[in-house]
A and B are shown apart, each in its own frame.
Chain A
Amino acid sequence: MTVADPIARDLALHWPEAVYDVLKASGIRQMCYVPDAGHSTLIRLFGADPEVKCNVLTTEEEGIAIATGAWLGGQRSVVLMQSSGVGNCINMLSLPVQSRTPLLMLVTMRGEWAEFNPWQVPMGRAVEASLRAIGVTVLRAETGADLVETVEQAAGMAFDGDQQIAVLIGQRLLGKKKW
């Protein structure tokens, strides 16, 4: 099933499948990640896709360098991480920012909505400001339908316009973590 199918998905529930379709349609050939529960469906879909090379990372900034190298070699990529990983990326982001290399990051938010773990709050609060400070464009979505549309246009701006873009996936959309 693709987003173009006439039978509409319930995007509140099935946004990961729709985001996968949108990313595939935008020509993504590499995906790298430090996992988050909110990214698990997307990681599974890409992992089963022989057209996409997946890299599991030890720390999130590795993905910023891999994405830059992928573009140098002519491939589009996406980097998946949780909000806590954004802080790890800051200096490495100077690479795509300074070389004006397309970058698409999908960041699942923690520490902002129905958060059980207060240790997630400081970095969650710092995500937008720190990304903007290093020169990354920040977009945000709070509903499944909005997210799918946001990722689609973010991919266009990144890969057709040499922009560095992070799409933040609101914790309200992801739902409360079950303990």
Chain B
Amino acid sequence: MVMDRRAAVAQLLAARNGALVITGLGSPSYDVHAAGDSADNYYLWGAMGGAALTGLGLAQAQPDRRVMVITGDGEMLMAYGALATISVAKPKNLDIIVLDNQHFGETGMQASHTGQGIALDRVAAASGFAETGELRELAEVEALATRLHQPAQGPRLFVLKIEAENLPRSLPPRDAVAIKNRFRAHLGLGTC
């Protein structure tokens, strides 16, 4: 059983409750954009393996805000070591959502490690994340969204098993400077 990625992301974002969102390159960026462009989204178009750690730096700088990283299985696999770094850093305001279709969707749907025995939620749990889990049905996402509103004792990571399909792209702006300045302005920060 797997779920529709756009519906899952839309549901999480409808309940974001002020969370700052960082997206991993490729389809997760399109999914978040499809749910509605917003100044508190920061979309990555590259820097594969950087989403969760960009989220960590942001979470440490904004300890009173919840940070949600929405990325894919391939992007998170490239940041395997980041799970150790984040676990040791112990942010209480960083949630990682892995949209896991078990494939590299942007490059021709080649199989990734997650369909071959690697479970990122269990890797995160073994690394010391405070809360982890794997969801397979859209009906579970509503409960997750509510759960994410509760205070955390440390970083959380949830894997959402999604359909392996390439949906029509919903392209966020590729101007990284403009998105950065818009994001900082949302937080009341100046720009150069």
Q: Show the binding face of A for B, using Cβ within 8 Å.
A: 29-30, 53, 55-59, 61-62, 64-75, 77, 91-92, 94-95, 98-101, 160-162
Known interface pairs A69-B54, A91-B47, A162-B192; A99-B81 also in contact (CB < 8 Å): no
Instruction: Assess the A56–B180 pair: CB atoms within 8 A.
Output: no
Note all chain B residues with C-beta closer than 8 A to A161: 192
Instruction: Evaluate contact between A91 and B57: CB separation under 8 angstroms.
Output: no
Q: A58-B84, A74-B189 are in contact. Are A98 and B54 (CB under 8 A)?
A: no
With A65-B53, A91-B48, A99-B179: A58-B58 Cβ-Cβ less than 8 Å:
no
Q: A30-B61, A55-B89, A74-B184 are in contact. List 10 more A-B contacts (CB 8 A).
A: A30-B60, A55-B85, A57-B85, A58-B82, A64-B50, A65-B56, A70-B60, A92-B50, A99-B177, A100-B192
Cβ-closest 10 pairs across A and B: A69-B57, A73-B61, A58-B81, A65-B53, A99-B176, A65-B50, A70-B57, A69-B54, A75-B61, A95-B47
> Of A64, A66, A70, which is in contact with the most chain B CB atoms at under 10 Å from its CB?
A66
B57 x A68 contact (CB < 8 A): yes
Closest to B56 in A: A66
Which DSSP category, helix, strand, loop or mixed, fits chain B's interface?
helix
Cross-chain contact A65 with B184 (CB below 8 angstroms):
no
- What's the Cα separation between A74 and B187 when bound, in Å? 8
Given contacts A29-B61, A68-B54, contact A98 B81 (CB under 8 A): no
Chain A residues with CB under 8 Å of B52's CB are 65
CA gap between A69 and B85 in the complex, in Å: 15
The proximity string for B residues 155-179 relative to A, scoring 1 for CB distances below 8 Å and 0 otherwise, is 0000000000000000000001101
- CB pair A98–B82 under 8 Å, yes or no, is no
Measured CA separation A68–B59 after assembly (Å)? 12
Minimum CB–CB distance from A129 to chain B (whole Å) comes to 21
30 contacts between A and B (CB under 8 A): A29-B61, A55-B85, A55-B88, A61-B49, A65-B47, A65-B49, A65-B52, A65-B53, A65-B54, A65-B56, A66-B57, A69-B56, A69-B57, A69-B61, A72-B57, A72-B180, A73-B61, A73-B65, A73-B187, A74-B61, A75-B57, A75-B60, A75-B61, A77-B57, A92-B47, A94-B46, A98-B176, A100-B176, A100-B192, A162-B192
